[in-house]
Chains A and B, each alone.
Chain A
Amino acid sequence: MSDPNQDVVDPDAPVVGMDYFMSLHFEERICPVVRRYADALLEGKLIGHRCPKCALVYAPPRGYCPIDVIETTDADEVQLADRGFVTNYTVVTPVAYYGQEATEPFAKVSVQLDEPGGSLSLQDVLEIGVDDVRVGMRVEAVWVPAAERNVDEIGNRSWGSAEGCILGWRPTGEPDVPAEQISDKVF
């Protein structure tokens, strides 16, 4: 924690403000299905669950299909592609709130993965500026080197995160996927 009065330059000036650091610290055990996902990430693999009824692929696996309201298990596990295309994106223009380290606009994209499917949200794009990010753009994962991977950001509610293992996604240069093929995959 920093000096609560770090903005006070003159040590003899009256104390007129006081910084409060409200802080909540907690630990959680990662549930088995997320733990298996995290362990796979460390090995450089993306895994998901395919619903045995509707065949939708969930990445990361959830252990259930919310549409059919049935449990999914290790038997439904599929290894996913680390290539795909952008289905949607948001450009974030950072403001300097406490803890925000970014200073320049950046994009977060949703990536629809190639067969057998699944999608990851809130992914970073590498190698191109935010103005060049577009729906339909084909991308591939850039993995963090094996020795440097971590799953520190993977919690029980971190659906969609591959942070610490996938640095981001870079354009492959392949032709864009036409918009009419994406209309049911935008989220």
Chain B
Amino acid sequence: MCSSKNVNDERVSTHTIEFPYTRTLGPVYSAFLTGLRDAKVLGITSRDGKVLCPPTEWDPQTGESLDLDFIEVGPGGVVETWAWVTEPTRKHPLDHPFAFALVRLDGADTALLHAVDAGSIDAMRTGMRVTPRWKEERIGYITDLEAFVPEASA
């Protein structure tokens, strides 16, 4: 796809190169994204009894395959660490300033990387409680969970 425009008496052409492909999810990511579509966040139980969210196919300590032992976590959680995005690009999940954060959901032992829509950097702090804001129409994609928001404002 291309287009052309005159800017300051110069001609500028724009191009977009797209390469789409479909990935088969496998039993673990399939369950995780099916859960998101149904407005639930699933973790998986590791060999030592910890709950991993996002779920993985293998035990991160031993590399062994994990049984498909899913457990619903959250919906609320705690921000473990975060980085504020001052000027989002068009590929970012939100079109206004937000935080990328590691969120450890209630009942989980690991943290999920996602966006926190806090409105202002002043509203962000490590240890704050957040809760999901779901999209109305969900399709089984990580962005079905639009963003986490501060629990106080939910």
Instruction: Contact check, A22 vs B34: say whether CB atoms are below 8 A apart.
Output: no
- Please, what's the 1-or-0 string for B45-64, where 1 marks a CB less than 8 Å from any CB in chain A? 00000000000000000000
The reply on B122 being an interface residue by CB < 8 A is no
Find residues 152-181 in chain A having any chain B CB closer than 8 Å to their own CB.
152-156
Note all chain B residues with C-beta closer than 8 A to A3: 139
Instruction: Contact check, A23 vs B139: say whether CB atoms are below 8 A apart.
Output: no
Instruction: Contact check, A154 vs B139: say whether CB atoms are below 8 A apart.
Output: no
Instruction: Contact check, A17 vs B23: say whether CB atoms are below 8 A apart.
Output: yes
Instruction: Contact check, A5 vs B139: say whether CB atoms are below 8 A apart.
Output: yes
* Stretch from A28-36, A67-75, A135-143 at the B interface: A28-36
Residues of A within 8 Å of B, CB-based: how many? 33
Instruction: Contact check, B11 vs A14: say whether CB atoms are below 8 A apart.
Output: no
Find residues 16-37 in chain B having any chain A CB closer than 8 Å to their own CB.
16-25, 29-31, 33-34, 37
Nearest B-chain residue to A28, judged by Cβ: B13
CB distance from B120 to the nearest CB of A (A): 30
- Please, what's the 1-or-0 string for B101-127, where 1 marks a CB less than 8 Å from any CB in chain A? 000000000000000000000000000
In the bound assembly, the distance between CA atoms of A24 and B19 in angstroms comes to: 9
Note all chain A residues with C-beta closer than 8 A to B25: 15-18
Tell whether A152 pairs with B23 under 8 Å between CB atoms, given A4-B141, A15-B140: no
Note all chain B residues with C-beta closer than 8 A to A21: 18-20
Instruction: Contact check, B22 vs A18: say whether CB atoms are below 8 A apart.
Output: yes
Find residues 95-154 in chain A having any chain B CB closer than 8 Å to their own CB.
98-99, 150-154
The reply on B14 being an interface residue by CB < 8 A is yes
Complex A-B, nearest 7 residue pairs according to Cβ-Cβ distance, in ascending order: A15-B140, A30-B11, A22-B19, A15-B33, A15-B34, A24-B17, A5-B139
Chain A residues packing against B (C-beta within 8 Å): 3-5, 8, 14-30, 35, 38-39, 98-99, 150-156
Chain B residues packing against A (C-beta within 8 Å): 2-4, 10-25, 29-31, 33-34, 37, 139-141
